């Protein structure tokens, strides 16, 4: 795949993101509607996309590769955790910055950008692997993620709502994978409906990211040099580490490409959301999300071109 082709696909997503930014700035919709659209995405469109992507013909090889991609995911999160534990300290980050920076390095933007980019690069087959690969994300982000985010906040309140394990994304993966194991296909009208609803994910996710970024004060965004270092590690160093490591064990394009691309995503939108909820420097978290998302428009095409 040529660099221009990759850049063009990513640039399309960026244009939609900018459209979301502009319409929010023009107050076509407000924060309440942005929250409602986010809920629609995470509870309906994304689950439909995941179920549709898992409508694959069963084969023992595909089942083995599903197990491998899940194992790879846990290993990658372990390695990312190592980077997150030490890198902010190397930068001599302030105590109030540690939680946000570590969370940003550990969790990438899977739901809003990961799935759309994987779909753009690898199509439905890539989404099958991405859905399995992202199971640990849903397991860890509301447990370990909360603990990491609140480090340095000055208290020991790390409350975890265990019901958050059962997110719509996790349920949709379980439903879709069960259908895959049983060799069952959704009936025609239902399958078509699920596909159409799932197709909302890409444009809706980019519009929401743009709307979320519109609330950040541009004059304060570019002042902290450590954010650029964290973004560089998030967007370049971690995916490069994933790519180099996986090449030692397999030559399967999807087993290498899907984890690398997801690792190359910017800081998760949950960074700002959880920082706000747990009073863990939400201003800094919003800055990290904005800078890493902005830079990812440049870095993602290079990463994709390099690994392919």
Q: Is the pLDDT of residue 10 over 60?
A: yes
Q: What is the pLDDT of residues 77-124, one digit of tens each?
A: 999 999 999 998 898 888 888 888 999 999 998 877 888 888 888 888
| pLDDT tier at 258, thresholds 50, 70, 90 | very high
- DSSP assignment of the chain equals --HHHHHHHHHHHHHHHHHHHHHHHTTSS-HHHHHHHHHHIIIIIHHHHHHHHT-----HHHHHHHHHHHHHHHHHHHHHHHHHHHHHHHTT--HHHHHHHHHHHH-B-IIIIIHHHHHHHHHHHHHHHHHHHTHHHHHHTTTHHHHHHTTTSSS------GGGGS-HHHHHHHHHHHHHHHT----HHHHHHHHHHHTTHHHHHHHHHHHHHTTS-HHHHT--HHHHHHHHIIIIIHHHHHHHHHTTT---HHHHHHHHHHHTS-B-THHHHHHHHTTS-HHHHHHHHHHHHHHHHHHHHHHHHHH-
pLDDT at 1: 59
Q: Is the pLDDT of residue 4 over 60?
A: yes
Q: What is the pLDDT of residues 198-214, one digit of tens each?
A: 888 888 878 887 887 78
Span 226-233, average pLDDT:
93
Q: What's the pTM? A: 0.81
| pLDDT tier at 15, thresholds 50, 70, 90 | confident
Considering the chain, what is the average pLDDT of its residues?
84
Q: Is the pLDDT of residue 277 over 70?
A: no
* The two structure tokens encoding residue 165: 């394990």
| pLDDT tier at 218, thresholds 50, 70, 90 | low
Q: Is the pLDDT of residue 43 over 90?
A: no
CA–CA–CA angle 32, 35, 37 (5° rounding): 110
Q: Which residues contact 268 (CB under 8 A, 6 or more apart)?
A: 103, 104, 107, 108, 109, 110, 141, 289
Span 136-147, average pLDDT:
79
pLDDT at 236: 94
Span 116-133, average pLDDT:
87
pLDDT at 153: 57
Cα–Cα distance, 255 to 301 (Å, whole number): 19
Span 5-18, average pLDDT:
79
Nearest to 104 by CA among 149, 44, 137, 61: 149
pLDDT at 78: 92
pLDDT at 165: 59
- Which CATH number covers residue 56? 1.20.1530.20
Q: Is the pLDDT of residue 159 over 90?
A: no
Q: Is the pLDDT of residue 163 over 70?
A: no
Strand partners, 108: 267
Q: Is the pLDDT of residue 137 over 90?
A: no
Cα–Cα distance, 90 to 184 (Å, whole number): 51
Span 46-65, average pLDDT:
87
pLDDT at 240: 94
Q: Is the pLDDT of residue 226 over 80?
A: yes
Q: Which structural domain, as residue segments, surrounds residue 275? A: 3-307
pLDDT at 2: 61
Q: What is the pLDDT of residues 183-192, one digit of tens each?
A: 899 998 999 9
Q: Structural domain tally of the chain?
A: 1
Q: Is the pLDDT of residue 154 over 60?
A: no
Span 271-277, average pLDDT:
74
Percent of the chain clearing pLDDT 70 (strictly above): 91
Q: What is the pLDDT of residues 24-41, one digit of tens each?
A: 999 898 888 888 888 888
């Amino acid at each position: 795949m040529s660099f221009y082709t990759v850049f063009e696909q990513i640039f399309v997503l960026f244009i939609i993101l900018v459209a979301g930014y502009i319409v929010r700035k023009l107050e076509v919709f407000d924060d309440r509607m942005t929250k409602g659209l986010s809920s629609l995405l995470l509870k309906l469109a994304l689950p439909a996309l995941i179920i549709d992507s898992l409508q694959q013909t069963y084969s023992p090889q595909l089942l083995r590769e599903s197990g491998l991609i899940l194992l790879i995911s846990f290993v990658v999160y372990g390695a990312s955790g190592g980077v997150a534990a030490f890198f902010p300290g190397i930068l001599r980050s302030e105590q109030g910055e540690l939680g946000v920076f570590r969370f940003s390095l550990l969790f990438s933007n899977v739901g809003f950008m990961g799935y759309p980019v994987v779909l753009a690069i690898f199509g439905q087959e890539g989404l099958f692997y991405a859905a399995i690969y992202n199971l640990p994300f849903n397991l860890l982000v509301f447990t370990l993620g909360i603990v990491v985010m609140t480090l340095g906040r000055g208290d020991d309140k790390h409350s975890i709502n265990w019901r958050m394990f059962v997110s719509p994304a996790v349920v949709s993966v379980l439903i879709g994978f069960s259908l895959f194991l049983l060799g069952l296909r959704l009936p025609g009208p239902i399958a078509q409906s699920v596909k159409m609803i799932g197709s909302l994910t890409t444009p809706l996710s980019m519009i929401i990211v743009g709307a979320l970024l519109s609330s950040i004060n541009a004059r304060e965004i570019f002042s902290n040099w450590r954010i650029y270092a964290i973004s560089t590690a998030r967007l370049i160093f971690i995916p490069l580490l994933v790519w180099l490591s996986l090449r030692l064990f397999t030559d399967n394009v999807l087993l290498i490409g899907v984890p690398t691309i997801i690792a190359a995503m910017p800081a998760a939108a949950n960074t700002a959301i959880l920082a706000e909820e747990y009073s863990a420097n939400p201003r800094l978290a919003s800055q990290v999300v904005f800078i890493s998302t902005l830079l990812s428009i440049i870095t993602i095409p290079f990463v994709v071109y390099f690994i392919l």
